[in-house]
Structure 1
């Protein structure tokens, strides 16, 4: 028995070998700098960047979404699920101990028991009471179970990175939807003001036509512009309501009105520190998740190859058995057993080879997936950088165009009042100004959304700071 008890120690000392390949981080080419960076590279911002817009309402909305959003809660519950799966896998490395207790009473056929010795009493009822502790342990000589645990740990980390990706998407989605809502609010204000101006213009055109100071065509043109403005207002009101409903779902509650803070043109446009391309490997959750998926796939090659090797299992039990409960734990009632099992695959008709081939193919898929995610991440950053730069230039040009058209409208009215032109020139100036004002509102919104997309593309440590604001249930 002592020799058998030494078996686990000997096998454990031999268990320094892990079947299958060890993970090697892919050596992928990384750009040294960004193509469209406008500032010298610095550390990627890890702060709660949405606070830099200067709108406390936006901050509250994002904090609320981190507490109540259903997608985030699903992702958090998924992490808990995989934590449990990791615990199940890790438990296979240790002995499994269990206990049993049983009691049985049986009456046998006296006739079947045969004749008894002369004078001996026959008791056809037998009683057996038993209590035992049982142990079973598969010794992981070849590292198959350790590889399975390595894969389960990588799966857990992958789920955590997925949760971080949900946080990143949620925060940027709330910020983007809020900016879009404020854009729609501004466009609606412009449309309502334009509607009021065109009602007045239509009234003036009718009055001048009644006084035979202009033609009917000018009246009809003014009416056409009025009807166009009247049609646009309810369209924008519908868009505002739908955007509020979209934002409400992100906040985790039923569709309702959404609180407003600063106007679109009052939101600040902070600068973004340009991180180095190499930092993206540590900052973006999708890259980190893809690498954990690759680690898991690599470890499962070892799990598959481990099926080629023998499996060593030791078992044992110790306990007591008696026909009398009062004597169950007496010395003579003790019992024990121990043993060892060696299971060797001799012929599997290609089953194990197929499993190894499958594991290798999945590892290749995970590798190509990692490379694809990496390329896409660099593309998203470059796209966000050029978008952030060019939309700001576009807004500057649009603002100048609005100023120019305001002056043109003033001059057109002055010419009209002095009889140098007809009212169609004024209407044309109003229409052009209205269209450019709407374009400027959209441009300001696009510039802020480009900034938000840039923060999302960089990833960053702010994800952890964002979840710190969440409730214990969400975090």
Structure 2
């Protein structure tokens, strides 16, 4: 790398050489045109969004408000304000913005001040003679012309990096909102299952009490009592598991809110009803998904940044020119202040790594390969987003069908258990049939409750796949 300073007419040939490359180096960025994101099959309606439980309306930003649950709304807002992952994402965005400011500062005038004093004695003079004291003081300034757009491309790259960091932060927002809703649903589901299983246990205890009375009256046996007791114990054994699920959900909520686990939200502890949607699920279409998903936006902004960096690499093929000038005073200290000590310079400053063109070409090839990799990553992000949504839609649709069938099975089991109880009390049914009916009811109640809980988790997974939870 060499630098030359030219004054007056001598600078004209070099300035003309630099002006020959005054166009901005590298290609201007354009959104990927030949990509999966533009395919009609990717931008149309979702294949699995079939049935009355889905709506073609676009997903609202704050999707959790569709549940009309003030406690859930408050929890998500608290998580978005205090979550540690979001704080880290905010710091990454701040860093990217600081890098942008550094790149923009490359357009400013650079200045430097130098000064010094020396004592020198030429060789060959008497050793007792003092040396000559001299001084040097100067002020220089330079302004980059950026004729080939190197600085401009660097700023473009930094702007794209800021936008990519913002998209990454938005993706964290979607994940935090979904995780908070899931944890809240876990607490509510555990209490919901506890209530159902406690109701079953109470029914079986009532049967146990009746069996003991019948045994004391001679209408039953000790074997009947032991079997009734075993049924109660088996159903009661499931209760601690649900209590553990509830507590673990509360601990998870505390972590998401940026608190120690012991500081979990006490008001959520009593949640007993599953979050329920009062309307069809709004899912939009593929085009809306591609616009909304933050990870897709991040992948697209990465292409833009690396395209600008290709321009930075290509700019090294041409000279870098600055307009510079300097003023200063120098000479023996005894002449300080004389007019002869004053000097100045003004002219273009040229730097050019011409001998290292193979290195520059290699860097250009690296940048070009990076862009091709980015394009593949962008297509992959679009495909993965579409797959996640289709899978989430299909899972929810099938689980909704299963939950409806299990609800009917539970209702049938409840009717059978009620009929068996009446027959047994009036002496027209045997005790084994009663126990079998109640065991079937307990199993049907637990299975139906699990299916309903899974539906809420499926809904949250779908909202996460759709990319909701951030403000564009």
Q: How does 1:63-462 map to 2 (within 5 A)?
A: 63-92=77-106, 94-104=107-117, 106=119, 113=125, 124=131, 126=133, 128=135, 130=137, 132-256=138-262, 257-258=264-265, 259-260=267-268, 263-265=272-274, 267-321=276-330, 334-338=342-346, 340-347=349-356, 350-460=358-468
How big is the shift at 1:3? 5.1
Matched, 1:44 2:50: no
Matched, 1:61 2:75: yes
SS of aligned partner of 2:325:
strand
Contact kept? 1:187, 1:438, Cα under 8 Å: yes
* CA shift in 2, pair 1:319/1:77, >3 Å: same
Q: Structure 2: 5+ residue runs without aligned partners?
A: 1-6
Contact kept? 2:197, 2:445, Cα under 8 Å: no
How big is the shift at 1:165? 0.6
After superposition, what is the alpha-carbon deviation per residue over 1:68-126, rounded to whole angstroms, capped at 9, x for unaligned? Answer: 1000010011011111122223333x2542232534363x569965599xxxxx87562
Contact kept? 1:405, 1:429, Cα under 8 Å: yes
After superposition, what is the alpha-carbon deviation per residue over 1:426-455, rounded to whole angstroms, capped at 9, x for unaligned? Answer: 222222222222222222222223333333
Supply the distance in 2 between the matched residues of 1:293 and 1:125 (Cα, whole angstroms).
60
Contact kept? 2:275, 2:456, Cα under 8 Å: no
Contact kept? 1:380, 1:457, Cα under 8 Å: yes
How big is the shift at 1:25? 1.7
Contact kept? 2:197, 2:239, Cα under 8 Å: yes
SS of aligned partner of 2:135:
strand
Supply the distance in 1 between the matched residues of 2:184 and 2:334 (Cα, whole angstroms).
74
SS of aligned partner of 1:18:
coil
Contact kept? 1:89, 1:148, Cα under 8 Å: yes
* CA shift in 2, pair 1:5/1:217, >3 Å: farther
How big is the shift at 1:303? 3.2
Supply the distance in 1 between the matched residues of 2:171 and 2:61 (Cα, whole angstroms).
17
Supply the distance in 2 between the matched residues of 1:338 and 1:324 (Cα, whole angstroms).
25
SS of aligned partner of 1:128:
strand
How big is the shift at 1:280? 1.9
How big is the shift at 1:341? 2.7
* CA shift in 2, pair 1:266/1:43, >3 Å: closer
How big is the shift at 1:336? 1.8
* CA shift in 2, pair 1:431/1:134, >3 Å: farther
Supply the distance in 1 between the matched residues of 2:139 and 2:183 (Cα, whole angstroms).
62
Provide the aligned length of Structure 1 versus Structure 2: 454
User: TM-score normalised to the size of structure 2?
Assistant: 0.84
How big is the shift at 1:232? 1.4
How big is the shift at 1:275? 1.7
Supply the distance in 2 between the matched residues of 1:249 and 1:95 (Cα, whole angstroms).
46
How big is the shift at 1:220? 3.1
SS of aligned partner of 1:341:
strand
Q: Which residue of 2 aligns with 1:16?
A: 23
How big is the shift at 1:4? 7.3
Contact kept? 1:69, 1:252, Cα under 8 Å: yes
Supply the distance in 1 between the matched residues of 2:334 and 2:187 (Cα, whole angstroms).
78
Contact kept? 1:183, 1:445, Cα under 8 Å: yes
Contact kept? 2:61, 2:471, Cα under 8 Å: no
* CA shift in 2, pair 1:290/1:354, >3 Å: same
Q: Structure 1: 5+ residue runs without aligned partners?
A: 117-121, 466-475
User: TM-score normalised to the size of structure 1?
Assistant: 0.83
Q: Which residue of 2 aligns with 1:119?
A: none
How big is the shift at 1:362? 2.0
SS of aligned partner of 1:270:
coil
Supply the distance in 2 between the matched residues of 1:464 and 1:194 (Cα, whole angstroms).
46
Contact kept? 2:117, 2:135, Cα under 8 Å: yes
Supply the distance in 2 between the matched residues of 1:237 and 1:129 (Cα, whole angstroms).
81
SS of aligned partner of 1:142:
coil
Q: 411-420 or 194-203, which moves further after superposition?
A: 194-203
Supply the distance in 1 between the matched residues of 2:421 and 2:148 (Cα, whole angstroms).
90
How big is the shift at 1:353? 4.0
